[in-house]
Structure 1
Amino acid sequence: MPKSKPTSRGESAKPLELVWTANAKEDFAHWQRHDPRIAKKIDELVANALKHPFTGLGKPEPLKHELAGYWSRRISGEHRLTYRVEAGVLYIGKCRFHYTAKKKK
């Protein structure tokens, strides 16, 4: 069986597995209860990220500094979907509020 060949920007022809962190599950449950439109938007962003992790909807951008390795997509002006791709898995980190790096002292 031939192996998947990476495409541009590290995308793979092989589908990614999806894993939600506990924080992301809590965030998504909040949106399902309080604003189903945002929950639907998150569903769309996640579906797009599974197909195209580094391009597509929500203006994907790599995060820097302490969050290097994570990517962000815009849910709204205030909220972001943060995720990382590792070993064929798309890990959803958060989907509520804006990501924040730890402040240096």
Structure 2
Amino acid sequence: MKKVVFLKHSFEDFNYWAETDLKTYRKIINLIRDISRSPFSGIGKPEHLKYQYKGCWSRRIDNIHRLIYQATDDEIIIVACRYHYQ
């Protein structure tokens, strides 16, 4: 499994879910576990992004929110885990 690193803003998003919606928070944890095992396939409908998020991937948290991340050889960088590509 790869090391998971949060950007400052994405960690704030993550903590927001921990404080406001435990169901969504748990879903994000499950997505991150799956991403660390297999970054480009698995649950949450992985999608390769382009334009401003070129090089990133996203997975669905729910109908509104997405988990956006980058995968390198050594780590998974969580870019955002709240809203839809903002």
Tell me the number of residue pairs that the alignment of Structure 1 and Structure 2 aligns. 86
Bigger radius of gyration = 1
The residue number in structure 1 matching 2:23 is: 37
The residue number in structure 2 matching 1:49 is: 35
- Uncovered stretches (5+) of structure 1, i.e. residues with no partner: 1-14, 101-105
- Computed over aligned residues only, the root mean square deviation of the Cα atoms, in angstroms, reads 0.9
Runs of 4+ in 1 over 4 A off after TM superposition: none
TM-score, normalised by the number of residues in structure 2:
0.95
Instruction: Give the Cα–Cα distance (whole angstroms) in 1 for the partners of residues 14 and 52 of structure 2.
Output: 24
The answer to which structure, 1 or 2, has the higher relative contact order (CA under 8 A, 6+ apart) is: 2
- Listed one character per residue, the Cα deviations across residues 58-84 of structure 1 (whole Å, up to 9, x for unaligned) are 000100112110000000000000000
- Uncovered stretches (5+) of structure 2, i.e. residues with no partner: none
Q: Percent identity?
A: 38
